[in-house]
Amino acid sequence: MHKLRKLFRGSGRALAFVFVASVVWLLFDMAALRLSFGDAAGQRALAAAGRGQRERGRDPQAPGQFGHPVAVPEDKQEEAKSRWKEGNFNVYLSDLIPVDRAVADTRPAGCSEQWVHDDLPTTTIIMCFVDEVWSTLLRSVHSVLSRSPPHLVEEIILVDDFSTKEYLKEKLDAYMSQFPKVKILHLKERHGLIRARLAGAQVAKGDVLTFLDSHVECNVGWLEPLLERVRLSRAKVACPVIEVISDKDMSYMTVDNFQRGIFTWPMNFGWRQIPQEVIEKNKIKETDIIRCPVMAGGLFSIDKKYFFELGTYDSGLDVWGGENMEISFKVWMCGGEIEIIPCSRVGHIFRNDNPYSFPKDRIRTVERNLARVAEVWLDEYKELFYGHAYHLVLRRLDVGDLTQQIALRKKLQCRNFRWYLENVYPDLEAPLVKASGLLVNIATARCITVENTTLAFQTCDVNNEDQKFNYTWLRLLRHGDLCIAPAGTTGTLELRPCTGWESSLAWQHSSLAAARPELADHLVSEHLQPPACLEVDPSLQALRVSACNSANPYQKWQFGNYYAD
64 versus 322: smaller Cβ distance to ligand LR7: 322
213 versus 224: smaller Cβ distance to Mn ion: 213
d(CA 189, CA 172): 18
Q: Minimum CB separation from Mn ion for residue 215, in Å?
A: 6
> Nearest to residue 544, comparing CAs of 484, 501, 502?
484
Q: Minimum CB separation from ligand LR7 for residue 133, in Å?
A: 10
Q: What angle do CA 532, 535, 539 make, to 5 degrees?
A: 130
Give SS3 for 307: helix
Sign of CA dihedral 275, 278, 281, 282: negative
Close Cβ partners of 463 (under 8 Å, ≥ 6 residues apart) = none
If one asks whether residue 131 binds Mn ion (CB under 5 A), the answer comes out as no
List of residues contacting ligand LR7 (CB under 6 A): 128-130, 132, 161, 192-193, 196, 213-214, 242, 269, 296-299, 319-321, 323-324, 348, 354, 356
Dihedral in degrees, nearest 10, Cα atoms 55, 59, 61, 66: 100
Compute the chain's Rg from CA coordinates.
29
* Residue 129's binding partner out of ligand LR7, Mn ion, none, with CB under 5 to 8 Å set by partner kind: ligand LR7
96 versus 295: smaller Cβ distance to ligand LR7: 295
Residues 215 and 137 sit within 8 Å (Cβ to Cβ) = yes
Residues 562 and 432 sit within 8 Å (Cβ to Cβ) = no
269 versus 501: smaller Cβ distance to ligand LR7: 269
CB-side neighbour CA atoms (13 Å) of 155: 17
Q: Minimum CB separation from Mn ion for residue 298, in Å?
A: 5
- Beta bridge partner(s), residue 301: 210, 238
* Residue 193's binding partner out of ligand LR7, Mn ion, none, with CB under 5 to 8 Å set by partner kind: ligand LR7
Burial class (CB in 10 A: 0-12, 13-18, 19+), 89: buried
CB-side neighbour CA atoms (13 Å) of 306: 23
Residues 209-228 as x/- pattern, contact with Mn ion by CB under 5 A: ----x---------------
Q: Minimum CB separation from ligand LR7 for residue 264, in Å?
A: 13
Residues 486-525 as x/- pattern, contact with Mn ion by CB under 5 A: ----------------------------------------
148 CB neighbour count, 10 Å cutoff: 22
* Residue 318's binding partner out of ligand LR7, Mn ion, none, with CB under 5 to 8 Å set by partner kind: none
Q: Minimum CB separation from Mn ion for residue 42, in Å?
A: 29
213 versus 314: smaller Cβ distance to Mn ion: 213
- List phi, psi (to 5°) of 52: -55, -50
Residue closest to Mn ion when measured from CB atoms: 213
320 versus 507: smaller Cβ distance to ligand LR7: 320
64 versus 298: smaller Cβ distance to Mn ion: 298
* Interface ranges with Mn ion (CB under 5 A): 213
